Homo-oligomer: A and B are copies of this chain.
């Protein structure tokens, strides 16, 4: 016999109908969900995904980087560079390390000339130290750091490409300025230059450091730097130099591989000459290179060994800027 709806009391009928309707709705939702799951995935790799769509300000920690720029006595250059760097793709925030002790930052002027594409934080320092830029800033939210000297202008194309390279080599210092060390039979190291080719190197050259004044590296290394021996801080403070060499030692020791990956820049410029302050960089000091050799040897003592490793890999961007830069006559 079949079920007669009509014969049931109204209240029971209502509840049963409610239950029945709820079940139907649930079943329909499940079916819809299943259908959605069965839809073909729009795979990213069907489209060239070289250029991601511009993201909003809530950039994911992995997809963007923080620019850290230390500045001393070259505020005119700083402001010129900020206008350029503030618009670089994938930039999350800028941290300006203000080494002009006792001097007001240009924050007010900066704000009056807003809005700006990204937030800029002026970190006022109490002592003018080279290693101020290697603090683990609480404002740092991204995995990647771009560190730039306050007189160096790198093109947006170079930075976008180098950032994509860093994302493939996140444990390395990925940057535009390679340097090397040389081991001499006497057991003493020298900070090498490329003007003189090493004897026995008929097969090209190599580098063992990438300077952090124009490079991307993982923000975790700033954390690690806070745990360096006091002697490392003392060395950097004594010379007002070598913080970049120290970072390369740290990274090489950590990875057991060459610390850096060199990306050949297409357009990198030093704006030193353009400053009104008359101040030219530390590297003009007569003792600059000798200091760096001194630092290499001191760090080898502190590290009880030489962790730096050589690489001869040079990375360029395929098909840029010359469309056929990869062509060869076969």
Contact = CB atoms under 8 A, between A and B. Distances in A.
Contact of A203 (B157, B178, B324): B157
A314 B323 contact: no
Contacts of A311: 318
A56 interface: no
Given A51-B203, A323-B197, A328-B268, A43 B305 contact: yes
Interface residues of A, number: 55
Contact of A325 (B165, B265, B314, B324): B314
A206 B306 contact: no
Contacts of A168: 313
A51 to B, nearest CB: 7
A157 B319 CA distance: 23
Total copies of this chain within the assembly = 2
Nearest to A195: B324
Interface of A: 43, 45-51, 157, 160-161, 164-165, 168, 178, 183, 194, 197-198, 201, 203-207, 262, 264-265, 268-270, 305-321, 323-328, 330
Main secondary structure of the interface of A (DSSP, over half): loop
Contact of A326 (B161, B178, B324): B178
Contact of A318 (B46, B270, B314): B314
A288 to B, nearest CB: 15
A205 B318 contact: yes
